[in-house]
Amino acid sequence: MLGFNKMNKAATHTTRALAALSLAVLTGCGGSATETDVTTTEVSAPASNWVMVWEDDFSGESIDTSKWNYEINCAGGGNNEKQCYTDSSDNAYIADGVLNIVALPASEGAEKPYTSARLNTRYKADFTYGRFEVRAKLPSGQGSWPAFWMMPTDEVYGSWPKSGEIDVLEAVNLKVPTDEGVESNIHGTLHYGRDWPDNASSGKAYEFPQDENPADDFHTYAIEWQEGEIRWYVDDYLYATQRRSEVLYNSKNEAVGLKHRGWFAEYFEQGSGELVTHWDNAPYDQDFYMILNLAVGGDWPENVNQTGIDASAFAEGQKFEIDYVRVYECASNPDTGKGCETIRPGYDDPADALVEGKAPVPTPPSTGINPLTIFADQFNPNWPAWDCCGGSTPSLVPVEGKGNVVEFVVGSAPTVNGFTSRSECITDPEGEASPYDASGMLDNGFVRFDMRVTSAPANPDATWMFKIESFDAGSAVELNLSASAEGEAPVVGQWQTYTFPIQALADAGLDVSAIDVVMIFPAWGTGEGAVYQVDNVEINAEYPQLDLFTDGQNVDWPMWDCCGGSTPIEVMDDEAHGLVAEFAIGATPTVMGFNTRSDAGGSGKPFDATAIVEGGVMQFDMKVTSMPNTPDAPWLLKLESSGGATAAEVDLTTSAEGHAPQAGEWQTYTFPLTDLASAGLDLSAIDVVMVFPAWGSGEGAVYRIDNAKIYYPENDGLTLFKDAAAEQWSIWDCCGGSEPAVVTDDQAHGAVAEFTIGATPTVMGFLADENVSFDASGLLSEGVVQFEMKITSNAGNPDAQWLFKIESLGAATAVELPLSASQEGAEPVVGEWQTYTFTLQHLLNAGLDVSAINVVMVFPSWGMGEGAVYRIDNAVIANP
């Protein structure tokens, strides 16, 4: 009742089912989903184990104040309602065994235009769990709002809505004309979660048939509330179920999602004082009391149906008539309320009665690969090059074939050199201290750099060192460069690469969660005379990959027939595929695929795909050589993890390609890991991958699989223009009204894009179609935006500056730079093709979100470009 302002109650809530994804775990070897055991109960009366423990049948002459409290106020219920609640017998009285709550026009000059009544049982009838039931006839008219609801007796988890609210029955504007007839909905709702205005609510409506109306006759409305679940009923028909959230944990016992999204609670932990989200029974595990009231107007009724309040509907009073209120306790288990469920098939089905709540999804642990480029062609303002103690300034110098590199010089004063992200060393106003957390990259991460010594230290015994620190030197590791993965000492005049695994650094004592200094130097006090150059300094990781079958099976993941008794074989196919896996299904129902479990002949080595959940895929090629005897048998992909603890099963037609298998054709199927995770698969311990016709329908099928793998596809980049604009991109004039053209240039360039600027100020370039963007995150370590440009006619204004601008997220982020800020640093020359290169890391550092690029522009300064004609070719966002 309190929290309508955040809930849409105007229409029946329909929960969206997962159309193509099912969470069926392999049972034995059959592969069939376990059916929920739903006990069908006769619902004409509560189940026999419900025992009535409280009742008011309103058989007395007056309201029993040993059971009910009057609320007296004009506060508006928190919803801008238009009544004052009173204890007047005009507004609440008993007649003929019925409690009447009546909303009436107030006297002239009253604080609110209407009066009514609100009764509650706080501290007189308070309960945790049970069946709460009212038999009532509801009022009608635009602006009417009757309710039977419950609030927490003691706000254990905080003020509304943190301690919860249960709306057993609400209705607004009954019998008011609608497009379908008249308003006949009642509503059951929960309110919970965070403080207003971030509060949450979830519920469902029940619509009476048009020949019935809750304002025409008495009906029974109830909830059954047990530990972790609440169910709503109209005349004993179960129409809604809400549950606590069920958290999905991975094999490392880390919360990674929700199996069921239900209610939640957020409150401060005693002791620590920390604000914590709880996906458990709270807040619906404490005593609640009951409330009966009739409101007039308010945010909900006044904004739906015919809106406002129909004064004529209340002129003679509107009655909320209550025959009785009853509370039952579950005798089977009063402490939990379980064992007395009045249920029907579909009560726990999201496509039927089960309501999806508003609980926040737990944030998975940081396991993804988020590379850090400390230096590549230019300084990172968050990680400047640094001379600790020698007084020199590391410099940027150009090197053929490498672009810009950092050069360090060691003088007579002992020192160490490198890169730091500590605030006291950052001088660039755009920079900020940014310690790097590599804890999610222990398995496959590394620190890597290229180095060339141009002048060796004067001391021939000088040892070259690598040192890395974290938490302001709270932990550190120092190693000889020859301890790198390459195992080489520096050779003067030669570029060499050095790689140090993150796991090795952690094993040596480094806390990898806040790396803030990386140093490369001759041993302290022995480096005088050394001059050396460093490039491509990064903290990165190799993406994990599982190859199930490519020209032969993975011995750790053998081919497998679950239950049919066959032995899958390797056979030669066409030249493109070579050796492939072949599966054949006989009369016995089975599923087939690849299995690493030891009881299936595998090595017992599950695959952890959590590092590639964003962007990673499950992909394979398949050719059906003989279709199943059942012509309409659906083909399925199923993955399991942790010994079958979690699974996801999808139809092959839900792949990125979207096609069904065709006999005799090799076809590729790709499934994003995010979809499989959303279906409930724990990606941290995948141990079975299956491809098969649906259980029991596969007899006669013979099919081949090749190139089966779970991996992170390399980002090949985006060609914005080469002979033509990229698909879903266009050459574009923002504001000048011209139509950029494709014209033929010299033999080397062929078709190019030509832009012409007239008198109207404009910018020009390449624009993505609506809802299209390019994610360059995977190119960040080395990627660039690069294009060639030739001016055929310069702008009439000689002061016009040529600019490059790139935007993302619908212009939510953007970077604009002069072309002279490119790696080439050249100003345009009329009649000459020139190349311009901007690194993605530079653009990211300048404020661009590189994950959703949708505009790339090249133009003379705004309002100064009239007369300019220029051509662009070979425009790409890619690795060089």
| Residue located via tokens 């990959």 | 545
Tell me the residue type at 820: S
Active-site residue (options: 81, 165, 341, 807): 165
How many CB atoms neighbour CB 745 within 10 A?
A: 16
Residue 419 contacts residue 383 (beta carbons within 8 Å): yes
> Residue 73 gets which letter from DSSP?
B
Residue whose token pair is 């409290």:
69
| Whole-angstrom distance, CA of residue 866 vs CA of residue 873 | 22
Q: How far apart are CA 7 and CA 5, in angstroms?
A: 6
What does DSSP assign to residue 571?
E
- Burial-class residue 127 by CB neighbours within 10 Å (0-12, 13-18, 19+): buried
Give φ, ψ of 495 to 5 degrees: -75, 130
| Residue for token pair 């100020």 | 761
Give the Cβ contact number of residue 746 at 10 Å. Answer: 10
Supply φ then ψ for residue 674, to 5 degrees: -60, -35
* Token pair 């002949």: residue: 601
* b/e sequence 762-793, b meaning 16+ C-beta within 10 Å: bbbbbbbeeeebbbbbbbbbbbbbbbbbbbee
How far is Cα 214 from Cα 565, in angstroms, rounded to an integer?
Answer: 61
Contacts of residue 438, defined as CB under 8 A and 6 or more positions apart, other chains included, come to 445, 502, 512, 513, 515, 539
What SS3 state is found at 513?
Answer: helix
**Cα gap 462→525, rounded to integer Å:** 9
Provide CB contacts within 8 A for 108, sequence distance 6+.
none
Is residue 353 within 8 Å of residue 238, measured between CB atoms?
A: yes
Q: Which distant-in-sequence residues (6+ apart) come within 8 Å of 809 by Cβ?
A: 773, 849, 851, 852, 854
CA 43 to chain centre: 40
CA angle 476, 479, 480 (to 5 degrees): 160
The CA distance from 448 to 782, in Å, is 13
* Cα separation values, 484 from 449, 493, 808, Å: 11, 19, 39
The 3-state DSSP class for residue 425 equals helix
Question: What is the full DSSP assignment across 96-118?
Answer: TTEEEEEEEEPPTT-SSSEEE-E
165 is catalytic: yes
Q: Which of the following is catalytic: 81, 133, 170, 469? A: 170
For residues 195 and 305, the answer to whether their CB atoms sit within 8 Å is no
Give me the half-sphere count of Cα atoms (radius 13 Å) on the Cβ side of residue 141.
21
Under DSSP, the state recorded for 674 is: H
Q: Quick one: the chain helix, strand, coil %, rounded to 5?
A: 5, 40, 50
Check if the beta carbon of residue 803 is closer than 8 Å to that of residue 790. no
The DSSP string of 157-194 is T-STTTT-EEEEEE--STT-EETTEE--EEEEEEEEES
Spatial distance between the Cα atoms of 44 and 645, rounded to a whole number of angstroms: 39
Specify whether the CB–CB gap between 687 and 640 falls below 8 A.
yes
The single-letter code of the amino acid at 741 is: A
Cβ atoms < 10 Å from Cβ of 512: 23
Collapse the DSSP code of 481 into the 3-class scheme (helix H, G, I; strand E, B; otherwise coil) and give the result. helix
Cα–Cα distance between 242 and 347 in angstroms, integer? Answer: 10
Which of the residues are catalytic? 165, 170
